[in-house]
Structure 1
Amino acid sequence: MHEPHPLFVRRLSRGQLMVLDLLAGLAFSLLFLTAVTNATGVPPWARLVIPFALGLPLALRRSWPMPIFCLTLALAILAVLLGAVTFAYVSPAYALYVVALADIGGARVPTTAIAGLTLVTLGGLVMAGGVRQTGEPTWTTHLDVPLIGIAALGGAWTVGRAVRERRVYAARDADRLAEQAVTEERLRIARELHDVVAHSVGLIAVKAGVANHVMSTKPEEAQDALRVIETASRSALVEMRHLLGVLRSAEVPDLGPAPGLSGLAGLAEQAKMAGVDVDLDVRLGSEGNRLPEGVELSVYRIVQEALTNVVKHAAPARCRVTLVADEREVRIEVMDDGPGRRVIPVEAAGHGLIGMRERIMMYGGEFEARGIPGQGFRVVARLPYVHTSPGGAS
């Protein structure tokens, strides 16, 4: 594939743009010089001064937009009145483009009206050129020159304002997209931090409460609880260090595989250590069917958060986790038979259910979490996805 030249993809510097303006001014000067050589009744000195006076100042149009425009406009009117150059208005039109681009007096100038006037003038010139007749008044034969000047100046102003508005809109859109990206990344990091920490911390809190209550009466059970706390805290510390290392690194991190369906058994085992007996039922459908990595991570985090809530609010209890995947979607159900009371008090609502809902909404799925009177709590999620097989996507 042919790579574009850097000159055409990067923004030119101010100095480079001024060089281009100088070249354009020289080109205008040579064009005006050619036109003025055939003019009669023009003093010899004017035949040399007028062309270069109309062209060379254009090299400074970016430094002094309004003065250069006024100078070239006055010279253009003089050139037309002397009959030296009939199309001299292209010079002030070239300068007026930068005036419009720099928004000098733009708020006070009705751009829409100018654009309309330009179109009407061009239309009138085209129609008048096709129906010109003999015997017309003398003044009408020269009316096309100022009309062309009006059209040129109006067109330059309109194009300059349109380019400025497009740049302003593009800058606002870029700021909006950047702000949206920052917000989404912040939510993603917050969600990952919550998912990494909440499960282990919830397990630690439950086991710490157990150890505190049975320390004097059942030291063996308290010792088992402390072992669970040690294991969970070490695991949480490793995950936190890994996540913070990724966030701090400016290089592409060497990441291991993301948690997926293979980690569900580990979640069930950790919940069992906290007093929740988990019955795990995973059905992946046809042979060779596998889930996309992002879907697997979302399924893992949803089950992790659901089990964390069971540990925090219902332990000891029994819990059934059912996961059914076909070629179009994954359905998750986590249901416990807990007493419906909170084991550890919570002063404020957590973000677990919010995080689960956000993950599911990313895939356009459905989510429901509610208590069932006399039967515990039930979490149901559905994640649509595009089926992939080991041989490729279908």
Structure 2
Amino acid sequence: MRSAVRWLGGRPGLIDVVIAGALALTVGYSIVDPPGPASRWPVWSAWLVGVVLAAPVSVRRRWPLPALAAAGTAATLATVLGAVTAGMLLLSFAPTVLVLYLVACTASRVRSSAALMACLITASAAIVFFYRDVLPTLAPALDRSELPPYWPVELGATAAAMGVAWALGLLVRARRDAHAGLARQLAHTAVIEERLRISRELHDLIGHSMSLIAVKATVANHIADARPDEVRAALNTIEHTSRTTLNEIRRILGGLRADADPYHHGPPTGLAGLPELADRMRSTGLHVDLTITADGLPPSGVDTSVYRIVQEALTNVTTHTTATTCRVTVTLTGREVAIEVTDPGPLRPAGKPADGGYGLIGMRERVTLYGGSFHAGPSADGGFRVAAHLPFAPGGAAS
């Protein structure tokens, strides 16, 4: 049963055909066995009239306005010509009501309002004409009806059905427009968030690399005459760092251009890239004591965030402190990654405060994105400490 309903749900045109067939049978039966005086038309014509009245419903999704015009015209003519019976005139306009609902769902409010007014006017005129000019010419019913024909009731019921169908159509259209607007807003928000993420990536990458280059260039400038071998080593580090940075920038921007994952290619930027990062920092004179305890791998987003947090923390050490040593501890369990970066300090005279600078803000935003905790501030021994916890679900998705 469920599979049949699912199969029909994917074929709305077929559903309309089924509804049209049911309406044709209902209208035909109401003409054959009416509650009031019978039509002068032959009995066999009842089923033909039912088919003509209900046929527009089967094509209402493809041609809503033409189907409404056809349904309204057929119902009006059938009523005026006496092809339908008193007491059941609402059934003759039932196909018009169904098509009017779809017009209100799909057409503009001006067009659907004009269609509603046209349907009300023609239906009212046809019903009044039927009771004034057609009904008196029909033979009285053999049996007294429990619901005798009464034109105000038929006119009111038909007008109410059309009004309700039109109002429901407008409500459905408004909800669809609201959902479409929400979808566009979510897509726009996703684009903005992606741009912010990429801007943080570029900030972390360029900030780290330029700090490293600045430190090595300063060292080379001071020892240029006394120790040329160290100058050459500093220049090699600058060359390697600049090339690596350019490659990563090309990878990130190339990923944007190709609408692909920017971390799919290029140098490792997760836990696997931390040893290389520590080696680069050691070349600046900062001894990095790196300890990684990991049982498996975190999700790719968390993996990249860990790398960027450690990278930014080490950049802050070289930029804002005079420390020559630093300790980095990364511990991965089945549910979270714990990061701790400590240095003995002290801060440089022009160093940033604990809550300032884009680096700390970027690290805090990365941690917040995964619902984790972040702390950055002076330690008890006079140095500086950065600690972050990034939780994630055991299955691999961020929690």
Please state if 1:62 is matched with 2:64: yes
Q: For the residues of structure 1 that align with 2:98 and 2:296, how far apart are their CA atoms? A: 63
Aligned residue for 2:100?
Answer: 96
Q: Secondary structure at the match of 1:63?
A: helix
Written as runs of structure 1 = structure 2, the 5 A alignment for 1:312-331 is 312-315=319-322, 317-331=324-338
The answer to whether the 8 Å contact 1:258/1:293 transfers is: no
Corresponding residue to 2:202 among 164, 188, 193 = 193
Distance 1:251 1:364, change over 3 A: closer
The amino acid of 1:241's aligned partner reads R
Q: Under a length normalisation based on structure 2, what TM-score does the superposition of the two structures give?
A: 0.68
Please state if 1:384 is matched with 2:391: yes
Please state if 1:264 is matched with 2:266: no
Q: For the residues of structure 1 that align with 2:284 and 2:194, how far apart are their CA atoms? A: 33
Please state if 1:273 is matched with 2:277: no
The answer to whether the 8 Å contact 2:56/2:68 transfers is: no
Written as runs of structure 1 = structure 2, the 5 A alignment for 1:15-54 is 32=27, 35-36=30-31, 42=39, 44=41, 54=53
Shift of 1:343: 7.3
> Which moved further from structure 2: 274-283 or 22-31?
22-31
Corresponding residue to 1:181 among 179, 187, 190 = 190
Distance 1:23 1:387, change over 3 A: closer
> Which moved further from structure 2: 160-169 or 372-381?
372-381
Written as runs of structure 1 = structure 2, the 5 A alignment for 1:142-153 is 142=149, 145-146=154-155, 148-150=157-159, 152-153=161-162
Written as runs of structure 1 = structure 2, the 5 A alignment for 1:335-350 is 335-341=342-348, 350=357
The answer to whether the 8 Å contact 1:335/1:376 transfers is: yes
The answer to whether the 8 Å contact 1:290/1:388 transfers is: no
> Which moved further from structure 2: 167-176 or 98-107?
98-107
> Which moved further from structure 2: 289-298 or 166-175?
289-298
Alignment length, in residue pairs? Answer: 349
The answer to whether the 8 Å contact 1:276/1:315 transfers is: no
Distance 1:374 1:218, change over 3 A: farther
User: 1:17-50: CA deviations, max 9, x gaps?
Assistant: 6x997997687567645644667564549x6896
User: 1:334-390: CA deviations, max 9, x gaps?
Assistant: 122233126799xxx75322221122112211111224598232211122234589x
Corresponding residue to 1:243 among 233, 236, 252 = 252
Aligned residue for 1:205?
Answer: 214
The answer to whether the 8 Å contact 2:376/2:386 transfers is: yes
Distance 1:199 1:9, change over 3 A: farther
Q: For the residues of structure 1 that align with 2:38 and 2:339, how far apart are their CA atoms? A: 93
Q: Secondary structure at the match of 1:142?
A: coil
Shift of 1:106: 9.4
Corresponding residue to 1:169 among 178, 190, 212 = 178
Q: For the residues of structure 2 that align with 1:167 and 1:318, how far apart are their CA atoms? A: 60
Structure 2: stretches of 5+ with no match in the other structure: 115-143
Distance 1:237 1:83, change over 3 A: same
Please state if 1:215 is matched with 2:220: no
Q: For the residues of structure 2 that align with 1:229 and 1:291, how far apart are their CA atoms? A: 31
Aligned residue for 1:307?
Answer: 314
Shift of 1:244: 3.1
The answer to whether the 8 Å contact 1:199/1:305 transfers is: yes
The amino acid of 2:255's aligned partner reads V
Q: Under a length normalisation based on structure 1, what TM-score does the superposition of the two structures give?
A: 0.69
Written as runs of structure 1 = structure 2, the 5 A alignment for 1:107-118 is none
Distance 1:51 1:314, change over 3 A: same
The answer to whether the 8 Å contact 2:223/2:231 transfers is: yes
Distance 1:217 1:374, change over 3 A: farther
The answer to whether the 8 Å contact 1:333/1:379 transfers is: yes
Q: For the residues of structure 2 that align with 1:8 and 1:189, how far apart are their CA atoms? A: 45
